[in-house]
Structure 1
Amino acid sequence: MARNPSNKAILEQLKHGIADFQIASSPVPSVSSHCPQNAPPAVFLTSITHKFFARIGPSLGRGSPAMKKLERYSVQKITGDGRCLFRALVKGMALNKGVALNPREERENADELRMAVKEVICDNDKERLKYEEALVAITVEESLKRYCQSIGRPDFWGGESELLVLSKLCCQPIVVYIPEHEHGGWGSGFIPIAEYGAEFRKGTKKVKPRNVVRLLYSGKNHYDLLV
């Protein structure tokens, strides 16, 4: 059985950026070495099997900086068929334009988003270079070849890598939230944990300002839409 690393070893791993973090709502006695592909944006993955937990729990209290960022929205549930990230994005972008998608349109548009990521990351060497952050996020966990073999499947879960690509590809600001109760709170609000494509909020010379799409990430590895 592998021994837990010493404090010195932990500090060295933190120093060199190779420590493995996961968010936990309470102390965890053990953890599987498998991590879901749609882990929340704040999670960093490496090949190291021992994981260090950044505890987010009741001890932070309502006076913590994160709790002061509390926001309130309504939740629109998204079908959990492996497309939830892509479904939530297409539904949010459509609603920002005043368009309501029917279930077939939502599914087809979600699959188009998935294939758009595959095209720029896997099928176009020149375009791929524009998404360096996404490439880093992908290859930390697995090889690019393996990723490209997986992303075409309809049950492939999207996560941070796809958010990095799609926010830029669609010129779309995206903010990801977690439920207040997953951060030690007792209410029904939401806390922002990551933002992608922030530059498109105010627009650019070529793109008009875009409304934000707000996604809710739950501890059940699922994305819903906040409106």
Structure 2
Amino acid sequence: MPTLNSPLGVPGDGRCLFRSVVHGACLREGRLSPSDSVQKELADDLRAKVVDEFIKRRQDTEWFLEGDFDTYIAQMRQPHIWGGEPELLMSSHVLQMPITVYMKDQFSGNLKSIAEYGQEYGKENPVRVLYHGCGHYDALQTSYCGPQAKIYKKR
């Protein structure tokens, strides 16, 4: 298993999940960390594609979303609305990459894996994000880059 480095802080602007995922996708591809403005643009693009993926998979996803599906989708299109587990799952499908979520163990201080998404896209070198337990996500870096996968591109 690769060594996880310290979290790379991302702004808590409602896009933190999406910013962390696109940042991790860039690192996974061996690209440099995106600038704040590029990260924001990529995060908004990923959010739009995630919402489209929910709609495409409505029959499979409607049951696990809170409240009315159409209301949820309309809210999730807003850039200030936080994402969570459903958005991580859809992000893995959009990017066709595995995503692993970590939390810091309160006793040891070590990072522990708490969730994995998109394992059907492979298990090597997933996008890694850190969940702080209070609605905020940060990107995590690793000490090595795995095999090249699809590069996340804007459409």
- TM-score under structure 1 normalisation? 0.57
Quote the Cα distance in structure 1 between the aligned partners of 2:53 and 2:73.
11
- Contact kept, 8 Å, 1:137 with 1:160, in 2: the verdict is no
SS state at 2:137 partner: strand
Aligned equivalents of 1:163, 1:135: Cα separation in 2: 15
State the one-letter code of the partner of 1:192. S
Structure 2 residue 116 is the aligned partner of structure 1 residue 195: yes
Deviation at 1:72, TM superposition (A): 4.8
- Once the two structures are TM-superposed, the CA of residue 170 in structure 1 deviates from its matched residue by 1.3
Is it true that 1:216 corresponds to 2:130 in the alignment? yes
Q: Give, in whole Å, the separation in 2 of the partners of 1:223 and 1:145.
A: 25
Question: Structure 1, residues 145-194: CA drift from partner, whole Å, max 9, x if none?
Answer: 1112201111011111111111122111011111111xxx1x32111111
* Structure-2 residue corresponding to 1:117: 50
Partner of 2:138: helix, strand, or coil? strand
Larger RCO (CA within 8 A; separation ≥ 6): 2
Q: Secondary structure at the match of 1:194?
A: strand
Number of residue-to-residue matches in the alignment:
138
2:103 maps to which residue? 178
User: Map of 1:1-227 to 2, 5 A cutoff?
Assistant: 72-99=4-31, 100-122=33-55, 127-129=56-58, 132=60, 134-138=61-65, 141-181=66-106, 185=107, 187-201=108-122, 211-227=125-141
Quote the residue 1:52 is aligned against.
none
In the TM superposition, what whole-angstrom CA distance separates every residue of 1:45-75 from its partner, at most 9, and x where no partner exists? Answer: xxxxxxxxxxxxxxxxxxxxxxxxxx85321
Unaligned runs of 5+ in 2: 142-155
Identical-residue share of aligned pairs (%): 38
Whole-Å Cα distance in 1 between the matches of residues 95 and 62 of structure 2? 17
Moved over 6 A (4+): none
SS of 1:73 mapped into structure 2: strand
> By how many angstroms is 1:111 displaced?
0.2
Q: Is the 8 A contact 1:73 1:189 kept in 2?
A: no
| 1: CA distance, partners of 2:86 / 2:49 | 13
Q: CA-atom RMSD, angstroms?
A: 1.8
